[in-house]
Structure 1
Amino acid sequence: MKFYIKHESRGRIRIHLAQKRMSSVQAETLLYYLQNQNQVSFAKVYDRTGDAVICYEGERAAVIRMIQLFHYEEVELPTGLLESSGRALNNEYQEKLISKVIYHFGRKWLLPAPIRAIYTTVVSVKYIWKGIQTLAQGKIEVPVLDATAIGVSMLRGDYGTAGSVMFLLGVGELLEEWTHKKSVGDLARSMSLNVGKVWLKKDGQEILVPSEKIVAGDEIVVHMGNLIPFDGEVSNGEGMVNQASLTGESVPVRRTLGSVVYAGTVLEEGELTILVKQTGGSSRYEKITAMIEESEKLKSGLESKAEHLADRLVPYSLGGTALTYLLTRNATKALSILMVDFSCALKLAMPISVLSAIREANQHKITVKGGKFLEAVAEADTIVFDKTGTLTKAQPTVAEVVSFSETKSTDELLRIAACLEEHFPHSMAKAVVDAAKEKHLDHEEMHSKVEYIVAHGISTTINGKKAIIGSYHFVFEDENSIIPEGMEEKFRHLPEEYSHLYLALEGVLAAVICIEDPLRPEAAEIIRQLKKAGLKKIVMMTGDSERTAKAIAKKVGVDEYYAEVLPEDKANFVEKEKAEGRKVIMIGDGINDSPALSAADVGIAISEGAEIAREIADITVAADDLAEILVLRMLSNRLMKRIHKNYRFIVTFNAGLILLGVGGILQPTTSALLHNTSTLYIGLKSMGNLLDEPV
Structure 2
Amino acid sequence: MTTIHSWMNNRWAIPAASGALIIAALVILQLGTIDLLGNILMVAAAVVAGAHIVITAARALWARVIGIDLLVAVAAIGAVVIGQYWEAAAVTFLFAIGHALETATLNKTRSALAELVAVAPDVAITLRDGEQVEVAATAVILGETVLIKNGAKVPVDGEVIGGAGALDEASITGESMPVEKVTGDRVFAGTVARSGFLQVRATGVGADTTLARIIHRVEDAQDTKAKTQVFMDRFSAWYTPAILVLAIVVGLFTQDIVLALTLLVIGCPGALVISIPVSIVAGIGRAAKDGILIKGGEFLETSAKITAVAVDKTGTLTIGRPRVTDVVVLNPDLTRSDVLGWAGRAEAGSEHPLSRAILDAARSESLDVAGLPEATEPVPGKGIVVTTRGHRVLIGNPALLVQYPIIDAYAATLAATALAEAGRTPMIVVLDDTVAGVIGVADEVRADAAQMVSDLHAAGVKRVVMLTGDAPLVANAVAAVTGVDEVRASLLPEDKLDVVVALQAEGYVVAMVGDGVNDAPALATANIGVAMGAAGSAVAVETADIALMGDNLLKLPEAISLARRTVNNMRQNIAIALITVTLLLLGVLLGGVTMSIGMLVHEASVLIVIVNAMRLLRRHGGVSSAPHTNTTTPPATRSTDRGLTPATIRPDRAATTTTTTGGTP
Question: 2:145 aligned with 1:216, yes or no?
Answer: no
Question: 2:224 aligned with 1:337, yes or no?
Answer: no
Partners in 1 of 2:503 and 2:603 — Cα distance? Answer: 46
Gaps of at least 5 residues in structure 1 are 1-91, 194-211, 221-228, 232-262, 265-274, 422-427, 447-464, 473-481, 503-511
Question: 2:300 aligned with 1:371, yes or no?
Answer: no
Structure 1 contact 384–586 (Cα < 8 Å) conserved: yes
Paired AA for residue 225 in structure 2: K
Shift of 1:379: 1.0
Q: Which has the larger displacement, 276-285 or 624-633?
A: 276-285
Paired AA for residue 280 in structure 1: G
Structure 1 contact 589–606 (Cα < 8 Å) conserved: yes
Counterpart in the other structure of 1:279: 205
Shift of 1:673: 0.9
Structure 2 contact 425–440 (Cα < 8 Å) conserved: yes
Shift of 1:544: 1.7
RMSD: 5.2
Counterpart in the other structure of 1:349: 275
- Kindly tell me: are residues 296 and 680 of structure 1, through their superposed partners in 2, closer, same or farther at Cα, counting changes over 3 Å? closer
Question: 2:560 aligned with 1:633, yes or no?
Answer: yes
Question: 2:548 aligned with 1:621, yes or no?
Answer: yes
Partners in 2 of 1:379 and 1:366 — Cα distance? Answer: 18
Paired AA for residue 111 in structure 2: K
Counterpart in the other structure of 1:572: 498
- Kindly tell me: are residues 693 and 545 of structure 1, through their superposed partners in 2, closer, same or farther at Cα, counting changes over 3 Å? closer
Structure 1 contact 187–369 (Cα < 8 Å) conserved: no
Partners in 1 of 2:513 and 2:530 — Cα distance? Answer: 5
Partners in 2 of 1:140 and 1:298 — Cα distance? Answer: 22
Question: 2:236 aligned with 1:310, yes or no?
Answer: yes
Partners in 1 of 2:10 and 2:426 — Cα distance? Answer: 60
Structure 1 contact 352–683 (Cα < 8 Å) conserved: yes
SS in 2 for 1:216: coil
Alignment of 1:46-125 (within 5 A): 105-106=19-20, 108-109=22-23, 114=40, 117-118=43-44, 120-125=46-51
| 1:598-657 Cα deviation digits (max 9, x unpaired) | 321112233278935555322233656544333333322222222112212211111110
Q: Answer with 1 or 2: which has the greater Rg.
A: 2
Counterpart in the other structure of 1:387: 313
Counterpart in the other structure of 2:89: 160
- Kindly tell me: are residues 290 and 126 of structure 1, through their superposed partners in 2, closer, same or farther at Cα, counting changes over 3 Å? farther
Q: Which fold has the larger relative contact order, with Cα–Cα distance below 8 Å and residues 6 or more apart in sequence?
A: 2
Partners in 1 of 2:509 and 2:587 — Cα distance? Answer: 44
Question: 2:108 aligned with 1:182, yes or no?
Answer: no
Partners in 2 of 1:632 and 1:106 — Cα distance? Answer: 47
Structure 1 contact 140–315 (Cα < 8 Å) conserved: yes
| 1:39-98 Cα deviation digits (max 9, x unpaired) | xxxxxxxxxxxxxxxxxxxxxxxxxxxxxxxxxxxxxxxxxxxxxxxxxxxxx99x9567
Structure 1 contact 172–680 (Cα < 8 Å) conserved: yes
Structure 2 contact 271–606 (Cα < 8 Å) conserved: yes
Counterpart in the other structure of 2:633: none
- Kindly tell me: are residues 638 and 124 of structure 1, through their superposed partners in 2, closer, same or farther at Cα, counting changes over 3 Å? same
Shift of 1:330: 0.9
Alignment of 1:153-302 (within 5 A): 153-156=79-82, 157=85, 158-175=87-104, 177-179=106-108, 181-185=110-114, 216=141, 218=143, 279-280=205-206, 285-286=211-212, 289-290=215-216, 292-294=218-220, 298-302=224-228
Structure 1 contact 341–654 (Cα < 8 Å) conserved: yes
Q: Which has the larger displacement, 672-681 or 101-110?
A: 101-110
Partners in 1 of 2:218 and 2:233 — Cα distance? Answer: 19
- Kindly tell me: are residues 519 and 609 of structure 1, through their superposed partners in 2, closer, same or farther at Cα, counting changes over 3 Å? farther
Counterpart in the other structure of 1:670: 597
Question: 2:614 aligned with 1:687, yes or no?
Answer: yes
Counterpart in the other structure of 1:15: none
Partners in 1 of 2:217 and 2:286 — Cα distance? Answer: 21
- Kindly tell me: are residues 97 and 441 of structure 1, through their superposed partners in 2, closer, same or farther at Cα, counting changes over 3 Å? farther
Question: 2:584 aligned with 1:657, yes or no?
Answer: yes
Partners in 2 of 1:185 and 1:688 — Cα distance? Answer: 18
TM-score, normalised relative to structure 1: 0.58
Shift of 1:382: 1.4
Shift of 1:580: 4.5
Partners in 2 of 1:547 and 1:138 — Cα distance? Answer: 66
| 1:132-190 Cα deviation digits (max 9, x unpaired) | 23323333333433433343344443442243243134225513651464344467899
Gaps of at least 5 residues in structure 2 are 1-5, 29-37, 122-136, 146-155, 159-187, 190-200, 329-338, 384-398, 428-437, 623-665
**Total equivalences in the alignment:** 491
Partners in 1 of 2:381 and 2:618 — Cα distance? Answer: 43
Question: 2:60 aligned with 1:134, yes or no?
Answer: yes
Counterpart in the other structure of 1:547: 473
Shift of 1:563: 0.9
- Kindly tell me: are residues 571 and 401 of structure 1, through their superposed partners in 2, closer, same or farther at Cα, counting changes over 3 Å? farther
SS in 1 for 2:465: strand
Partners in 2 of 1:166 and 1:469 — Cα distance? Answer: 80
- Kindly tell me: are residues 431 and 441 of structure 1, through their superposed partners in 2, closer, same or farther at Cα, counting changes over 3 Å? same
Structure 1 contact 334–662 (Cα < 8 Å) conserved: no
Shift of 1:328: 0.9
SS in 2 for 1:552: helix
Counterpart in the other structure of 1:149: 75
Counterpart in the other structure of 2:433: none
- Kindly tell me: are residues 439 and 103 of structure 1, through their superposed partners in 2, closer, same or farther at Cα, counting changes over 3 Å? farther
Partners in 2 of 1:344 and 1:314 — Cα distance? Answer: 10
Q: Which has the larger displacement, 392-401 or 581-590?
A: 392-401
Structure 2 contact 323–358 (Cα < 8 Å) conserved: yes
SS in 2 for 1:688: helix
Structure 2 contact 423–473 (Cα < 8 Å) conserved: no
Partners in 2 of 1:466 and 1:98 — Cα distance? Answer: 82
Identity of counterpart residues, as a percentage?
24
Structure 2 contact 320–444 (Cα < 8 Å) conserved: no
Shift of 1:665: 0.9
Partners in 1 of 2:453 and 2:220 — Cα distance? Answer: 37
Partners in 2 of 1:526 and 1:284 — Cα distance? Answer: 26
Question: 2:534 aligned with 1:605, yes or no?
Answer: no
Shift of 1:101: 6.6
- Kindly tell me: are residues 573 and 139 of structure 1, through their superposed partners in 2, closer, same or farther at Cα, counting changes over 3 Å? same
Partners in 2 of 1:189 and 1:589 — Cα distance? Answer: 30
Partners in 2 of 1:135 and 1:556 — Cα distance? Answer: 59
Counterpart in the other structure of 1:4: none
- Kindly tell me: are residues 326 and 123 of structure 1, through their superposed partners in 2, closer, same or farther at Cα, counting changes over 3 Å? same
Partners in 2 of 1:150 and 1:442 — Cα distance? Answer: 89
Structure 1 contact 400–515 (Cα < 8 Å) conserved: yes
Shift of 1:684: 1.6
Partners in 2 of 1:189 and 1:515 — Cα distance? Answer: 46
